[in-house]
Amino acid sequence: MSFPILSSLILLPTIGALFLFFTKDKDGNNSTAKYVALFTSIVNFLISIYLWISFDQSISDFQFVEDRTWIEGFINYKVGVDGISILFIILTTFITPLCIISVNNSVKNRLRDFLIAILIMESFMIGVFCALDLVVFYLFFEAGLIPMFLIIGIWGGPKRVYSAFKFFLYTLLGSVLMLVAIISIYWISGTTDVVKLYEIGIDAKYQNLLWLAFFSSFAVKTPMWPVHTWLPDAHVEAPTAGSVLLAAILLKMAGYGFIRFSLGLFPVASEVFTPLIYTLSVIAIIFTSFIALMQEDMKKLIAYSSVAHMGFVTLGIFTLQQQGIEGSIIQMISHGLVSAALFLCVGVVYDRMHSRMINSYGGIVAIIPKYSILFMLFTLAALGLPGTSGFIGEFLILMGAFKDNFLVAVLASLGVILGAAYMLWLYKRVVFGKLVNEDLKKMLDLNKSEYLILTCLAIPTLFFGFYPDPLINTIEVSVSDLINMHNINLASK
Amino acid sequence: MENLNLILPEIFISLSIMFLLVLGVFKKNSSGITFNLSLFVFLISAIIAINETFSVNRETLFNGSVVIDKMSSFMKIITLLGGFLVLVISSSYLKIFKIFNIEYPVLILSSVLGMMVMISSNDLIVFYMGLELQSLALYVLATYNRDQLKSSEAGLKYFVLSALSSGLLLYGCSLIYGFSGSTNFDVISTQLNSNEYVLTFGIVFILVGLAFKISAVPFHMWAPDVYEGSPTTVTLFFTMVPKIAALTVFIRFLYVPFLNLIDQWQMIIVFLSIASMLFGAIAAIGQTNIKRLVAYSSIGHIGYTLAGLATASNEGIQSSIIYISIYVVMNLALFSCLLMLRRNNQYYEDIDDLSGLSKNHPLLSLSLLVILFSLAGIPPLAGFFAKFYVFKAVLEQSMYFLAIVGLLSTVVAAFYYLRIIKIMYFDKEKGKYDTDHSLWLKFSLTFSTILILLYFIFPSQLIEVVSRINII
């Protein structure tokens, strides 16, 4: 058996966290802990890059598969990656070191504990993206609640308790139904191994209920309208690094789950429920865009824009077209980069002025020009300007949607316009305009670490905007295979 | 001649009890030595139990009135280890309240003896004898801190209600005897005929009595008061050990004499299970005293155990046994934490006393965090697997309603566990607690927490042991 590279990806952050646990916790400036955490996460990132390089893009099978007996005769610990999951793993390992660098400015107390929580979170998230057994997937999916609950609850803002509880209970409520579905699948098909389930399929008469049970979990996590209300609360109260993790990676678990499980395991039901997903996605895109327009709080605005963007993602996935699904994946990666950057941008001004209200800013372009330029870049990427990664995703999704359903595509395109409206208006109110608040004059421009983080995020945003081939090549075979399999299953039922 | 080796642990314990009593009479200040000796008694009888009975498939003694099988030996070993651990972490608590007497270990030993008789019983009379032996010892243990009003109240309440339930149980037994003409479980199972409607009354009376002993809703009323009033170490004993014995008897009653009457009792068990899960989850939300909260949470946990029993399958029984084993470990961990909340020789029991614990006692609060998430059933901790096995068994029988209600009540229950975590981690800190705990207390907390935390790495071992238990 070859070297268990995926398990080491999962385990390494936990080992780092254990190591941190034994370092001494000094209040204030705890640089040892930070370097340990940073080192661990960067090593993890390098391993994942190595994984991407040695990944064979021409076959759609799962690669680097590890299969070990875990519970005798019942569950195997099975992990592996295909073109779809590998991108999410790299996104996770890429965002985590940036989060760790960013804690300098936002987390004041108990830095060590915060880093432990982030590293353990990273382990769980990588686990979600490479699990090939439903129970293993559920385990990682749910376990992520614990560190996130603590991150929001301990280091969050004034209403943190309410937000942390809301986040935890909403997600748990959605997930327990998925657990019922997973166990039922075991009794119906005799296995929870995803690869085997792809082959043997699930009896069509059970699919609708099972699909709904999975949907209840993923819809909360995505989040889809009308169960999105936990997200703005969680984002507003979470510390910057927590918001970044939440927006960039946690929300992607559900999109990934839709592709891997809802489409892959329940082709008949996915067909049946496509109108439902379309309706909810279009409502999410248009309705939350309007809500975003009215927000006074920058973080809330970006949180609502996340809901709208995830609306595009769910729309694209259920077009069941090559372009649509590829677009959704790229949109998720792009949203991971851009929303992370936007939350960091809000974090930058918040650390200086301790306000997230839009109206307390204005006219800062002359005071902090570097910041304004980078913020502009990410604003444009969020609204999907050609040349940024946001454009590729939205464009492909709309292309897929036009093939499938004209009306839905037109309505979703409206969302693009609204997206431009609220993002540009936000930018205008924060950066341009008259300088009213005199305190703003004392603001310092980006310091080295902030500059580094935002540039790190800007490079892939632009690079994939102009040259998305590396992404598309990676996912192409897996996606087309998924669609083929879907059609074959559909035809045979 | 019967093979008395099979009940050697029981014989050994009864002789030890007599010896310890005599020792207490003739030697002054012998409480310390009695304590240590009883610890040895527990360990030795556990070793004997493992040696003599673990490989036995199924044997009966005394005209089939005592049965030794895989279930009884497994449950006896947990009971003995549970008794050992309770005793070992009690001493410092008892010393502070100046109730460190010889009676305490002797009472614990005799109630454990009663439980072991219950676990092995295959006859209504043997069963009742064991039940009364353990109950009588428990009444006294509940009032053990006799200078405190609450403790005496707890004991009296427990006595009155428990005697009532024993009466019901006995009435049920007499009805069953009347219809079957025998007190032996194996004989009853061949004699009973489901057409006898009055028989259902007998079963219901017995189930009521047993439901009372494991505090399933709607026979739970005594639990919060008794748990709150009893000395903390006794409460720990209450939440762990008697439940194991009562559950074993529950399983044996349902699946040996009454298996053919499954239509009559399955609905009752499903109802008890759903009511306990929901009530335990909802009623715990408003509690401010940790021991009371634990009482409600244990009612909820009993609901999950009963869900496994309701399935009428071997997998269901095994999942219940796994559940109760993991639950025992979690409770031990929880109470070890509770016993560490001591400041100036005073114990603190309110949830608010945990406020900001994570600042002053990071390790203690981290363990408590792990334990509470495990009790709430969040993966990858042991509590999740316990629930997972139960629901796996429940869904195998396509009992979707039971599974969904159970899982939804875990969400409600998660709320009050989260509330404690919130108080520990998010709230302002209060004063420090003493840290000079006995080595055993520290050991039991570390050991059980690590077991909970790392159970997911080796989940197969427990399943393998339990999967040998085949009742049906």
Contacts of B384 in chain A (CB under 8 A): 139, 142
> Bridge partners of A193?
A133
How far is residue B154's CA from residue B144's CA, in Å, rounded to a whole number? 10
Confidence of residue A26 (pLDDT cuts 50, 70, 90): low
Biggest alpha carbon–alpha carbon distance for chain B: 68
Picking from A413, A411, A345, the residue whose alpha carbon sits closest to that of residue A379 is A345
Burial of B213 (0-12, 13-18, 19+ CB in 10 A): buried
Contacts of B459 in chain A (CB under 8 A): 70-71
Question: Does the pLDDT value for residue A387 go beyond 80?
Answer: yes
How far is residue A282's CA from residue A408's CA, in Å, rounded to a whole number? 7
Q: Which of A72, A146, A177 sits opposite B460 (nearest CB)?
A: A72
Amino acid identity, residue B142?
Answer: A
Note whether A142 contacts B: Cβ–Cβ < 8 A. yes
Burial of B169 (0-12, 13-18, 19+ CB in 10 A): buried
Percent share of chain A, pLDDT over 90: 10
Domains: count for chain A? 1
Question: Does the pLDDT value for residue A349 go beyond 70?
Answer: yes
How far is residue B336's CA from residue B349's CA, in Å, rounded to a whole number? 13
How crowded is residue A35: how many other Cβ atoms within 10 Å of its Cβ? 11
Task: Return the CA Rg of chain A.
Answer: 21
Residue B170 has a pLDDT of: 92
- Which 3 state secondary structure label does DSSP give B192? coil
* Cα→Cα distances B433→A25, B360, B436, B446, Å: 20, 8, 9, 18
Q: Using the beta-carbon criterion (under 8 Å), do B403 and A139 form an inter-chain contact? A: no
- DSSP 8-state assignment for residue B346: E
* pTM attached to this predicted model: 0.92
Q: What is the pLDDT along chain B (472 residues), one digit of tens a residue?
A: 678 888 888 999 999 999 999 998 888 888 888 888 899 999 999 988 888 877 888 888 888 889 988 889 899 999 999 999 999 888 888 888 888 888 899 999 999 999 999 999 999 999 999 999 999 999 999 998 888 888 888 889 999 999 999 999 999 999 888 888 888 888 888 877 666 677 888 888 999 999 998 888 888 888 999 999 899 999 999 998 999 999 999 898 888 888 878 888 888 999 999 999 999 999 998 889 989 999 999 999 999 999 999 988 888 999 999 999 999 999 999 999 988 888 888 888 888 888 888 888 888 888 999 999 999 988 889 999 999 999 999 988 888 899 989 988 999 999 999 999 888 888 888 888 888 888 888 999 999 999 999 988 888 888 888 888 887 7
Q: Using the beta-carbon criterion (under 8 Å), do A165 and B422 form an inter-chain contact? A: yes
The 10s digit of each residue's pLDDT in A435-465 is 777 777 777 887 888 888 888 889 998 898 8
Nearest residue in chain A measured CA to CA from B424: A154
Amino acid identity, residue B352?
Answer: D
| Mean pLDDT value across residues A377-401 | 88
Picking from B70, B94, B8, the residue whose alpha carbon sits closest to that of residue B45 is B8
Q: Using the beta-carbon criterion (under 8 Å), do B460 and A25 form an inter-chain contact? A: no
Structure tokens at A318: 């259920």
A77, A114, A183, A188: best mutation site toward chain B, by most B Cβ within 10 Å? Answer: A183
| Apex B351 CA angle, B346 and B354, nearest 5 | 70
Note whether A77 contacts B: Cβ–Cβ < 8 A. no
Nearest residue in chain A measured CA to CA from B401: A180
> Bridge partners of A71?
A75
Q: Which of A72, A145, A160 sits opposite B378 (nearest CB)?
A: A145
Picking from A113, A148, A126, the residue whose alpha carbon sits closest to that of residue A41 is A126
Burial of B257 (0-12, 13-18, 19+ CB in 10 A): buried
How far is residue A118's CA from residue A245's CA, in Å, rounded to a whole number? 9
Per the structure, the complete domain to which residue A137 belongs is given by 5-492
Picking from A218, A236, A138, A122, the residue whose alpha carbon sits closest to that of residue A171 is A218
Instruction: Quote the minimal CA–CA distance from B354 to chain A in Å.
Output: 15
Residue A403 has a pLDDT of: 86
Q: Please give the helix or strand (H or E) that residue B306 lies within, else none.
A: helix B290-309
The 10s digit of each residue's pLDDT in A167-183 is 999 889 888 889 999 99
Residue A192 has a pLDDT of: 86
Q: Using the beta-carbon criterion (under 8 Å), do A142 and B460 form an inter-chain contact? A: no
CA dihedral B254, B257, B258, B261 (to 10 degrees): 160
Note whether B380 contacts A: Cβ–Cβ < 8 A. yes
Residue A369 has a pLDDT of: 84
* Cα→Cα distances A21→A120, A295, B73, B101, B333, Å: 12, 40, 40, 42, 21
Note whether B468 contacts A: Cβ–Cβ < 8 A. no
Note whether B404 contacts A: Cβ–Cβ < 8 A. yes
Contacts of B426 in chain A (CB under 8 A): 153-154, 160-161, 164
Question: Does the pLDDT value for residue A112 go beyond 60?
Answer: yes
Q: Using the beta-carbon criterion (under 8 Å), do B380 and A143 form an inter-chain contact? A: yes
Note whether B408 contacts A: Cβ–Cβ < 8 A. yes
Q: What are phi and psi of A76, to 5 degrees?
A: -105, 145
| Inter-residue contact B45 to B119 (CB < 8 Å) | no
Note whether A70 contacts B: Cβ–Cβ < 8 A. yes
Note whether B436 contacts A: Cβ–Cβ < 8 A. no
- Which 3 state secondary structure label does DSSP give B62? coil
Note whether A165 contacts B: Cβ–Cβ < 8 A. yes
Percent share of chain A, pLDDT over 70: 98
How crowded is residue A191: how many other Cβ atoms within 10 Å of its Cβ? 18
Q: Using the beta-carbon criterion (under 8 Å), do B464 and A165 form an inter-chain contact? A: no
* Cα→Cα distances B67→A432, B51, B73, B116, B164, Å: 85, 17, 10, 11, 28
Note whether A199 contacts B: Cβ–Cβ < 8 A. no
Which of left, alpha, beta for A363 (phi over 0: left; psi -120 to 50: alpha)?
left
Residue A263 has a pLDDT of: 86
Residue B343 has a pLDDT of: 85
Structure tokens at B148: 């405190």
The 10s digit of each residue's pLDDT in A277-333 is 899 999 988 988 999 888 888 888 888 988 988 998 998 988 888 888 989 999 999
Q: Using the beta-carbon criterion (under 8 Å), do B463 and A72 form an inter-chain contact? A: yes
Q: Which of B373, B391, B459 sits opposite A183 (nearest CB)?
A: B391
Q: Which of B362, B408, B422 sits opposite A153 (nearest CB)?
A: B422
- DSSP 8-state assignment for residue B433: P
How far is residue B234's CA from residue B227's CA, in Å, rounded to a whole number? 8
Contacts of B373 in chain A (CB under 8 A): 146
Cβ pairs bridging A and B (under 8 Å): 80
Locus of tokens 């973080």: A299
Picking from A387, A377, A391, the residue whose alpha carbon sits closest to that of residue A431 is A377
Q: Using the beta-carbon criterion (under 8 Å), do B362 and A153 form an inter-chain contact? A: no
| Inter-residue contact A412 to A398 (CB < 8 Å) | yes
Contacts of A176 in chain B (CB under 8 A): 407-408, 410-411
Contacts of A109 in chain B (CB under 8 A): none
Contacts of B407 in chain A (CB under 8 A): 176-177, 179-180
Question: Which residues 146-205 of chain B have a CB within 8 Å of chain A?
Answer: none
Residue B429 has a pLDDT of: 82
The β-bridge relationship of strands B342-343 and B66-69 is unpaired
